[in-house]
Amino acid sequence: MHFNPYGGTAAQLAAALVNAAPSATPEDLVAVLRAQRYKPVGTLTAAEAGRLSAWARRLEPVFAGGIDRVAHLNALLAETAARPYISIHDDRPPHLHFAPETASTLVRVRAFTAAGLAHVVCEEPDRLGRCGREGCGTVYVDTSRNGRRRYCTTRCANRLQVARHRERHAS
């Protein structure tokens, strides 16, 4: 499944932030942003890192379900005051930005992730999920062809299947 550049990338970034430890340092969060190829990446103060971690906790219910995703995302979008516009920079083709380039990293990431998740919820809401292995809790954006992903990684799926296999053969 290929999402458009802003929706898919932004949703993947949202998942990565949710999966980052709540006690992540500013350096850890900058590393997450860089790993997700979020540009431009500035620095984060300890206070900004705390606010970004808090934002990630607010994004988490969108993946976990059990809430009205549309109402939740509309509230997050309103809070970010995202104002889409087309930008051209760094030899990249025209693409959407959701906050001014002069805004802080925190402001830009919040607008970007809220808009990206909104796009996915509008296009393919079943593509957002939480790992089905008990005790894992990792969230993901399902980019598989058939859209039937239920685990964060093949490793988690295999762990569950091996445990079931051992359980059947032990009895």
> In this structure, is residue 98 part of a structural domain?
yes
> In this structure, is residue 71 part of a structural domain?
yes
pLDDT attached to residue 7: 62
> In this structure, is residue 169 part of a structural domain?
no
> In this structure, is residue 156 part of a structural domain?
no
How is the chain classified by DSSP, letter by letter?
Answer: ----HHHHHHHHHHHHHHHS-TT--HHHHHHHHHHTT-SS-----HHHHHHHHHHHHHHHHHHH-SS-HHHHHHHHHHHHT---EEE--TTPPPEEESS-TTS-HHHHHHHHHHHHHHHHHHH-GGGEEE--STTT--EEE--SSS----SSSHHHHHHHHHHHHHHHHH-
pLDDT attached to residue 3: 46
pLDDT attached to residue 5: 44
pLDDT attached to residue 6: 42
Domain interval for residue 61:
5-126
Predicted TM-score (pTM) of the model is 0.87
The CATH number of whichever domain residue 115 belongs to comes to 1.10.3300.10
For the chain, give the mean pLDDT: 88
Average pLDDT, integer, range 152-162: 83
Summarised one tens digit per residue, pLDDT across range 33-54 is: 999 988 777 788 999 999 999 9
